[in-house]
Each structure stands twice: as structure tokens, then as C-alpha cells.
Structure 1
Amino acid sequence: MLRALTSRSRRILMTVDAVGGVWRYALDLTRTLVRDGDSVVLAGLGPQPSPQQCAEARSIASLIWLNTPPDWMTRDPSELTALSQELREPIRNHAIDLVHLNAPTQAAGLDVACPVVAVSHSCVLTWFHAVKGGPAEGEWAWHKDRNRSGFERAHVVVAPSRSHADMLEACYGPVASLVVVANAAPPGPKPRQRQPHVFAAARWWDEGK
């Protein structure tokens, strides 16, 4: 899909945070892109990565860290206003061909000439719709306008599953450039011997889990 937006070896800027699953998603994707001949600049938002995370990222890509917080750490959209300016500088300095944003809110107001891909890994509005049975209100309500602006700005909007894509359109209306690209990860080493245990990991405090 990315190759359809620009066919030659590309210089890609990809946003990331060091806290949740987006970190693993971004590094696994970066590793594949680099293997195929592209180069990647990872632009981080939010809490700083650990030394181990920095070492892993810098082994395959350039790593920079921005001052703007990710949307899930903010209570007011004005806190995201500076992001478009922060992104323009590395996009210009690294002669970026393609921007891959791991949150649609990051695409809102972004004024760059290259193609923009926005990935909706999760969403406050769809969480409220699924878990609470209604729209997000109060301090979260601004996400609707910000995400909608990001959907309209991006050349392609990616959802990781058909169900999430359907929920996005139920909450925001039709998203013209929406495509489904399933999440995946390279398999780990095969265990020498299986143990009779079941292991589960989740954010148990989250009602949606």
C-alpha cells in the first residue's frame, strides 16, 4: 500500500510513543521497511523511551523526540497545536517522501507536500461507543473534530481490523480513504518445550478489556 503512494526507495517519517503497543508496531514495521530499502526517521511523542528502547530504535532508524504530547495525554486540543510545526522541521531536514502518523489527530493541520498516512490504532470515541454505549462527552469530546480533521487531511487512513474500521465510520461518518491493514508481528523463537500454562496480558483497569 505504501509503495503505491511513492514507488522508489523512500525516506519515511513515522511517529511513535514509547508507552503502548504502537512502539512495537512501529519498530517491527520500520525493520521491514529498512530491509526493503527505505530509510525511517522515528519521531516520538510523550514520555521518553528507555535506554534499551533507544538502542533498539537507533539500530534501524534515526530517532528524534518531540515536545508535543500524544493526544491521549492531553485534555485540551490546544496542547497539540505546535505538533504540525514540530513535524515540518524534520520532514524538511530529512527530505521526507512519506509521513506515517500513528494517530489521526496528528494529521490535523499538517501542511506538507508529501503523502500522509494516518493509522487509527485506537480511538476515544469508538471506546465510548463500544463500552459506554454513547458518545464521548466533556473533556474527551474534542477528539471527534480533531480526528475528523486528520481523516480528511490524510491521503490514506488505516485501521487494523474490519470491526475497528466499521466502528470509526459509525462514530465519524464515511471516511473516504479508509483501508484495513491487519496488525502482524514476526514470530518469536519456537519454545523447546511447552508448559501447561495459559498466559494473558491486558490493561485490566480498562473496561474495554
Structure 2
Amino acid sequence: MEDSKMKILMTTDTVGGVWTYSLELCKALNKHDIEVHLAAMGAWPTAEQEKEASKMANIVLYKSDYKLEWMQDPWEDLEKAHKWIASIYQTIHPDVVHFNNYAQIENFWSCPIVTVYHSCVQTWWQAVKGTSAPSAWSRYTALVKDSLNTSDMVVSPTKAILEKAVGVHEVKSPTDVIHNGREMCFSKDVEKENFILCMGRIWDEAKNLRALSGIAKNLPWPVYIAGNNVNPNTGTEVDIENVHFVGELSSEEVKEMMQRASIFASPTKYEPFGLAILEAAKAGCALALSDIDTLNELWSSSASFFDPENPEDTQKKILQLIEDKEYREAMAKNAQSQSEAYNLQKMGSEYAALYKRLIVSRKTDINQLTPSL
């Protein structure tokens, strides 16, 4: 890689959707001749993840298993992670640091800092529990607030979740909304089948899949859940009538199921963006989604919305998609059309333009502070 390229130091994690977001963004930034030094935390990357990263010429991958700030008792690891990130920074001298987490808040960075607000425990707790997180999360909450407010720019994938972040964390930094993008190719020769696909862990309160499983026995189509049915905390196995658990799937296996599914359902209570929903829309699924502000912002008239707290409404909206083929196919077409707005070219161009603006602004500020000779 040439020294003339813009260099970004970017953090990511290997345990959630941030990994997919990060790789997609790196792919998009490659077209802008931007080199990304990608520092992965949370858990050691899997062989599949390392293979994904190795395919991209503009990525230098740094691996660790340092805990993320939302994990149990992370503080010692966060200190180690901070030193690790700082050493990478001092070695590569990036033009911008792009954080996808909230743990590095020191003020020694000489380049602009972008922090992407994907989610946080406080907004999760409010959406899922209806109240603020308990005092045990106070230290974490202070960390998130400090991180956001020591950034040159806070970016979020939807306006709705950004407004919540600004309110909860009293964000004073400049903000911007850049929608996530996803590039996927699906075969047009795969026939849609009569089943409903969901993704997530059945015990995850935010995903709220139990709301859908509660009505599954009343649906004429089977419900398939891409996720494990064994609670890792208790070892309890969940068995629900008309619900088929297919376990943790690889990205290719998820893609194959989305191509076959006629309906993708998400009864989630908390979803800042929803990459799986975007993938399903690109696969030509009709979308049945929770009536929450972030999903309304993204999908508007391109999905059938239901009240996730109301089983009768949920069942009614899904049955309408099942029983009315013309309506279902029209909604699938609408969702697929809307999904085209969330593409890599747009995401990459907006991030590249943001980085450049911040670099120019930082240089201008330095020049104004430098006395004339």
C-alpha cells in the first residue's frame, strides 16, 4: 500500500453486526483509495472472519480478544486495549481514527476522531425494559458519554437512534447520519417457498422472537429461526410448535435461506438499523417488521408493520402477507427497491467525504493557531 493513500485506523468487534458493517465499509472505501488498519476486539476472529478480511487488499487486520465495554467486568481489558490501539496509532500515523466502540477517549489524538454510534446499553434498556439501565451500568454510561463528546463527529445509521443517543448522553459533538450499506448478489433462479424466516436468539429480549413464536401455531406456514434454541446461561432447550430452529448459520447459509423465504419477520423491540432486514429485502423477502421508529424511518411503506406488544396485530399482519399473494409480492418488490438506497457506493462516498472534511477542518484549525513568522 502506498503512503499517498489516506489511512484510517478503525476499531471493530467480532461478536456482532459491527463486523459485517466494518468489512462492508472497508470494501466501499477501497474504491476511494483508502487504506484501513482494522483493530478487532471482543473475541479472536474466526477462520471465516479472517478469510473475509484477507480478501480485501486495503485492510490490515490487527487481532485481539480484549473485552468490549459492555461485557462483564471489562475494565482491565479496556486499559490494555487502549494501550494496544495507541501503539497502532503511533506506528501508522493515521489521517483519521474511526471508532466503532466507546472505550478510547484520551485526547492525545492529533488527527480527527469519528465515533459511530451503533447502539448502547442505555438506549437498549429504555427500548426493551422501558426504563433507564440500573446503577451498575453508571461507569459504562459515563464512558459512552465521554467517548461521544470527545469525538470530532458522531455518526449513526439512522436519525431516530441518533436522536436517542443525543438525548441520553447529552451529545455536544457535531453529528451526522450515514445509512449502512450492503452489497449482496442473489440468484434470480431460486423459487420462493412458503415459510417465514427470522434471525436471532430466542432468549434475546430485544429480538423479541418469543412474541412471534407465540402465534406460530396459528400460522399456516412454518417459522424458521436462524439461531440457537439452547440458552447458554441455563442450558434450557426451547421447543415451540410450528417453529424450526436451524442453529447458527454461516453467511452463505443465511443467504441461501433468505433466497428461499417468502417472508422475513422481525418483532424486535430495539433495532438501530438492522443489517439482516436489509439483506432479506435484497433477497426479495416481504418484510413484516415491528412498528418502531428506526424501522419506520428506513422502510416506511416498504414493509408491513405490526405492534410487537400485540399478538393479535402481529398475527393479523403476517396472515395478510401469507394469504394475499399479490400483496406479498408487491411488498417484496417495494422492499427490494427500497434496499437499493442502502448501498456500498453511497455509504463509502459519504464516509470518504466526511473523513476529508474533517482532515481539512483540522488542518485549518492548526494553521489558525500557528503564529505567523
1:97 corresponds to which residue?
A: 95
- CA shift, 1:100, in A, is 0.9
> Which one-letter code corresponds to 2:191 in the other structure?
R
Structure 1, 131-140 or 121-130: larger mean CA deviation: 131-140
- CA shift, 1:165, in A, is 0.8
SS of equivalent to 1:134 = coil
Q: For residues 74-93 of structure 1, what are the structure 2 equivalents within 5 Å?
A: 74-75=72-73, 77-93=75-91
1:57 and 2:53 equivalent?
Answer: yes
Q: In structure 1, list runs of 5 or more residues that go unmatched.
A: 1-7
1:14 corresponds to which residue?
A: 10
2:175 corresponds to which residue?
A: 178
2: distance between equivalents of 1:66 and 1:155? 26
> Which one-letter code corresponds to 2:140 in the other structure?
H
Contact 1:45–1:65 (8 Å) recurs in 2? yes
1:129 corresponds to which residue?
A: 126
2: distance between equivalents of 1:114 and 1:146? 21
2:186 corresponds to which residue?
A: 189
1: distance between equivalents of 2:73 and 2:34? 36
Contact 1:107–1:151 (8 Å) recurs in 2? no
1:145 and 2:149 equivalent?
Answer: no
2:151 corresponds to which residue?
A: 154
Task: Rate the CA distance shift 1:16–1:22 in 2: closer, same or farther, 3 A.
Answer: same
- CA shift, 1:76, in A, is 5.0
> Which one-letter code corresponds to 1:96 in the other structure?
P
Structure 1, 81-90 or 41-50: larger mean CA deviation: 81-90
Give the alignment partner of residue 119 of structure 1, picking from 105, 116, 128.
116
Larger Rg, first or second structure (1 or 2): 2
Contact 1:158–1:180 (8 Å) recurs in 2? yes
- CA shift, 1:21, in A, is 0.5
> Which one-letter code corresponds to 1:95 in the other structure?
H
- CA shift, 1:18, in A, is 1.3
1: distance between equivalents of 2:21 and 2:13? 10
1:31 corresponds to which residue?
A: 27
- CA shift, 1:95, in A, is 2.4
> Which one-letter code corresponds to 1:30 in the other structure?
C
1: distance between equivalents of 2:173 and 2:36? 27
Cα deviations by residue, 1:142-181 (Å, 9 ceiling, x for unpaired): 2221011101111111111111111112212243322111
Cα deviations by residue, 1:95-125 (Å, 9 ceiling, x for unpaired): 211111111x233225211111111111100
Q: What RMSD in Å do the two structures reach over aligned CA positions?
A: 1.9
SS of equivalent to 2:199 = coil
- CA shift, 1:42, in A, is 0.9
2: distance between equivalents of 1:171 and 1:194? 45
Contact 1:12–1:97 (8 Å) recurs in 2? yes
SS of equivalent to 1:81 = helix
2: distance between equivalents of 1:54 and 1:110? 31
Contact 1:160–1:182 (8 Å) recurs in 2? yes
Higher relative contact order (CA 8 A, sep 6+): 1
Aligned residues: 201
1:204 corresponds to which residue?
A: 202
Contact 1:118–1:157 (8 Å) recurs in 2? yes
2:260 corresponds to which residue?
A: none
1:4 corresponds to which residue?
A: none
> Which one-letter code corresponds to 1:100 in the other structure?
H
Q: In structure 2, list runs of 5 or more residues that go unmatched.
A: 208-373
Using structure 2 for the length normalisation, give the TM-score: 0.51
> Which one-letter code corresponds to 2:116 in the other structure?
V
Using structure 1 for the length normalisation, give the TM-score: 0.87
2: distance between equivalents of 1:98 and 1:169? 23
Q: As a proportion of its length, which structure holds more helix?
A: 2
Contact 1:75–1:140 (8 Å) recurs in 2? no
1: distance between equivalents of 2:190 and 2:84? 49
